[in-house]
């Protein structure tokens, strides 16, 4: 079987290194498919990457055919089938969102060009590095030979945070909750929507109090990342890596029947009147290998529309800030 080449940028960082070992162990493609890992980071992290490569060797993962460790972009992106773009500057104290956008925005045009020029033309891309939706737009725009549907940004962590909290409220298993959606940006404006969610086939909205939903649940999902940072002084790592893998697996193997996942995808032509030319999180189904569709025909009430628009406006303003990078 031909090995799949999987690129992880920022592979020496917290999320990147958590991903590395999971992909090497076969979490992405199952226990038959060999993989070649491409580990990419900036020059000063080379010793970290080399140490990581040694540890990978020590694990003797049966499916790990080879490891490419590099700080050269053409080598890192060469022939890759899957690209997890995790590497980015973390937000530092006192940094405004605008500063983060400008600092991280600069990383992604070069990576878009590298995907365009060196990757497998069928490559599938998951942007994790924040601000993930707008970084995804920058990357896709700098890869004109690739289709915008080959690019996605991670909101699966937000999605799973939401179903985890609902399951806890309803004293249920997460697998009992379906059709939950994160709309919009992976940020504090994201909209966790229960208006179509079901618990064992019953509307969740009939089982929980709207006041709790609006005042407790929505802010808790929106602010979960900051809360983790506050509690332990470090942002989400393992949960981000696991949800990155779940995001890709839904795309590769398909979503469960009668359910969907949340994924930030290209908005042009979407059925909900969201502005074109953004990467916006929608409810998405994946029916066959590496194809996806935005779920159509959902009724959007006034409350939901208002919340969806707030996040849309934020993404439009982010795009205005980095327009020269597109």
The reply on whether position 242 binds ligand NAI by CB under 6 A is no
CA–CA distance, 235 with 42 (Å, rounded to integer): 21
Piece of 194-202, 230-238, 293-301, 306-314 that binds ligand NAI (CB under 6 A): 230-238
115 contacts ligand NAI (rule: CB under 6 A): no
Does 162 participate in binding ligand NAI (rule CB under 6 A)? no
Q: What's the distance, Cα to Cα, between the start and end of the chain in Å?
A: 38
CB of 308 to ligand NAI, least distance (A): 19
Which x/- pattern, by CB under 6 A, does the window 34-53 give for ligand NAI?
------xxx--x--------
Residue 38: active-site member: no
CA pair distance 183, 280, nearest whole angstrom? 7
154 contributes a contact to ligand NAI by CB under 6 A: yes
- For residues 116 and 125, give the distance between their C-alpha atoms in angstroms, rounded to a whole number: 11
Nearest approach in angstroms of CB 48 to ligand NAI is 7
Read off the DSSP letter of residue 287: -
Q: Tell me if 251 sits within 8 A of 217, measured CB to CB.
A: no
Helix orientation angle between 132-141 and 107-118, rounded to the nearest 10 degrees: 50
Q: How far apart are CA 120 and CA 107, in angstroms?
A: 21
Burial of 310 (0-12, 13-18, 19+ CB in 10 A): middle
The residue from 83, 136, 240, 307 that contacts ligand NAI (CB under 6 A) is 240
DSSP strand pairing (261-266 vs 198-199): unpaired
Is residue 16 within the footprint of ligand NAI (CB under 6 A)?
yes
Which of 150, 236, 250, 262 touches ligand NAI (CB under 6 A)? 236
* C-beta closer to ligand NAI: residue 9 or 198: 9
Residues that bind ligand NAI (CB under 6 A): 9-10, 12-16, 40-42, 45, 86-90, 107, 128-130, 132, 154, 157, 186, 235-237, 240
Residues designated catalytic:
186
């Amino acid at each position: 079987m031909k090995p799949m080449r999987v690129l992880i940028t920022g592979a020496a960082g917290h999320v990147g290194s958590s991903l590395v070992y999971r992909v090497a162990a076969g979490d992405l493609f199952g226990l038959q498919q060999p993989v070649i890992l491409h580990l990419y980071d900036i020059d000063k992290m080379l010793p970290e990457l080399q140490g990581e490569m040694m540890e990978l060797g020590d694990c003797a993962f049966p499916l790990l055919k080879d490891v490419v460790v590099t700080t050269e972009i053409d080598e890192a992106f060469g022939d890759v089938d899957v690209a997890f773009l995790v590497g980015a500057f973390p937000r530092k104290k006192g940094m405004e969102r605008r500063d983060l956008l400008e600092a991280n925005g600069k990383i992604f045009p070069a990576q878009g060009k590298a995907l365009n020029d060196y990757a497998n033309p069928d490559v599938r891309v998951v942007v994790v590095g924040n601000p993930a939706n707008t970084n995804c737009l920058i990357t896709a725009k700098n890869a004109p030979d690739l289709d915008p549907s080959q690019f996605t940004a991670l909101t699966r962590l937000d999605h799973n945070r939401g179903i985890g909290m609902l399951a806890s409220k309803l004293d249920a298993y997460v697998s009992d909750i379906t059709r939950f959606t994160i709309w919009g940006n992976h940020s504090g404006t994201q909209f966790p929507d229960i208006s179509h969610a079901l618990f064992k086939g019953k509307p969740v909205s009939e089982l929980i109090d709207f006041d709790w939903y609006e005042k407790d649940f929505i802010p808790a999902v929106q602010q979960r990342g900051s809360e983790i940072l506050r509690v332990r002084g470090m942002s989400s790592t393992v949960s981000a890596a696991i949800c990155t893998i779940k995001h890709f697996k839904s795309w590769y193997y398909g979503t469960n029947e009668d359910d969907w996942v949340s994924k930030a995808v290209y908005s042009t032509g979407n059925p909900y009147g969201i502005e074109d030319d953004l990467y916006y999180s929608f409810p998405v189904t994946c029916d066959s290998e590496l194809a996806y569709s935005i779920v159509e025909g959902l009724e959007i009430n006034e409350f939901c529309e208002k919340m969806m628009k707030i996040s849309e406006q934020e993404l439009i303003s982010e795009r205005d800030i980095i327009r020269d990078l597109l």
